[in-house]
Structure 1
């Protein structure tokens, strides 16, 4: 059983405890950091549940070796757990109720359109990092998706690119550093921002320069866009919560680390069996 089966879309779980920072200056929407590059199946609806079921089967077969390795990558577990609990409380009383309300009032086609819109914005970062990783073919796909979705897809609300066979990539500066050999460092949980590693935490700063949000001068407009993006992602995770069993911190940590390894290596990870 391949690790890639476990890693596929574990980003959805890793993103679960993200809280929107109060941003007065430019920043990256946290939701964009953990979206999977597998776009052939939407993250909402029956397709999403199907992927979760597949994930659960695979997770049970690879969890033991993953836990052992993850424990070695988490020397600051005591502090991380405390921050995780803080994030969990803030999420429970702020973001989660907002996500439930959004999902209750928004029709499915609206949710899908909003999600596609923010994915389209993320293509800028995908393109920049694929160029930095010297991947011209992937950069070409990013460019084509951005053009077709922005024009024919009505600013990205319709994912024309995927229907044309142009599958979405998912890149960030943390992956770029990893691609060129920079180690991930220990696992960390950032206050309000959630799971990360030392490498990925530092990479969040340059990531902000590839997001259009940073260049919106009107602060209320910028923060509204960031908030809607995060609520949209949190709403897509409501169903996933019921799939998590056992220690939530351990599950999310392992899922995050596996997903990041999978992405940095472009799926070329060694099988454990």
Structure 2
């Protein structure tokens, strides 16, 4: 689900937002703020009363080593998406690293339960089709909050469908097993964000919007961005 990847980005976004930047810098990128706030409120309410409590319960009853292993397995699945977009972005070195990570973690990490790739110095990349479009000059377009899926842009929304082909869910014929795998992915992603919420200050909508847009620019440009401050 796209929403899980968007939630996961909040960890990066929160750390980026700790660097001072103009409070209204993203306003011109959010011409649909009115409807976006309504969708954001819907998503936030659903999260507050459903997803967050489930994630907290999961974190409470699940041993840390098992949480880490499950998280690593889903990251290993995500490395396939990274690899595909490394190739589309013409990044041979990154593609080599992610190929090695998938092989090492799948074979020696027992399906990715153990992240042996990182221990070997193969540091994970984070790519998606929205970033691929951005690399080749496609502008981000207006900021948009998607129902259930969370913060995005017009460009990143266009990347949802292509990225879905890199995930195993669409190839699973066992519907209950597929739904269970997707649900566990959502819970794992949400649980990993519980500690990051402490960094949110002020207007939650504006904080997440600005942090998301700044994070996406940072990723699309591989860190080569100007520091406005």
Q: 1:130-145 residue pairs with structure 2 within 5 A?
A: 130-145=86-101
Number of residue pairs the alignment of both structures matches:
228
Q: Of 36, 39, 43, which aligns to 1:83?
A: 39
Q: Of 178, 197, 201, which aligns to 1:222?
A: 178
Name 2:20's counterpart in structure 1. 62
Residues in 1 aligned to 2:192 and 2:54: alpha-carbon distance in whole angstroms: 12
Q: Of 18, 26, 32, which aligns to 2:5?
A: 32
SS in 2 for 1:195: strand
- Shift of the 59–90 alpha-carbon distance from structure 1 to 2, 3 Å rule, reads closer
Q: Give the TM-score taking structure 1 as reference length.
A: 0.79
Gaps of 5+ in 1: 1-27, 37-42
SS in 2 for 1:170: coil
Indicate if the aligned counterparts of 1:32 and 1:122 stay in contact, CA closer than 8 A. Answer: no
Q: Does 1:171 align with 2:127?
A: yes
Name 1:92's counterpart in structure 2. 48
CA RMSD of aligned residues (A): 1.8
Name 2:224's counterpart in structure 1. 268
Residues in 1 aligned to 2:128 and 2:194: alpha-carbon distance in whole angstroms: 25
Residues in 2 aligned to 1:121 and 1:79: alpha-carbon distance in whole angstroms: 33
- Shift of the 249–146 alpha-carbon distance from structure 1 to 2, 3 Å rule, reads same
Residues in 1 aligned to 2:178 and 2:92: alpha-carbon distance in whole angstroms: 31
Q: Give deviations 1:162-196, integer Å, cap 9, x for gaps.
A: 00000000111000000000000000000111000
Structure 1: 4+ residue segments shifted above 4 A: 33-36
Gaps of 5+ in 2: none
Q: Give the TM-score taking structure 2 as reference length.
A: 0.94
Q: Of 187, 207, 213, which aligns to 1:257?
A: 213
Indicate if the aligned counterparts of 1:29 and 1:230 stay in contact, CA closer than 8 A. Answer: no
Residues in 1 aligned to 2:31 and 2:221: alpha-carbon distance in whole angstroms: 24
Residues in 2 aligned to 1:183 and 1:29: alpha-carbon distance in whole angstroms: 20
Indicate if the aligned counterparts of 1:73 and 1:187 stay in contact, CA closer than 8 A. Answer: yes
Deviation larger for 175-184 or 231-240: 231-240
Residues in 1 aligned to 2:61 and 2:2: alpha-carbon distance in whole angstroms: 23
Q: Does 1:124 align with 2:80?
A: yes
Residues in 2 aligned to 1:270 and 1:199: alpha-carbon distance in whole angstroms: 21
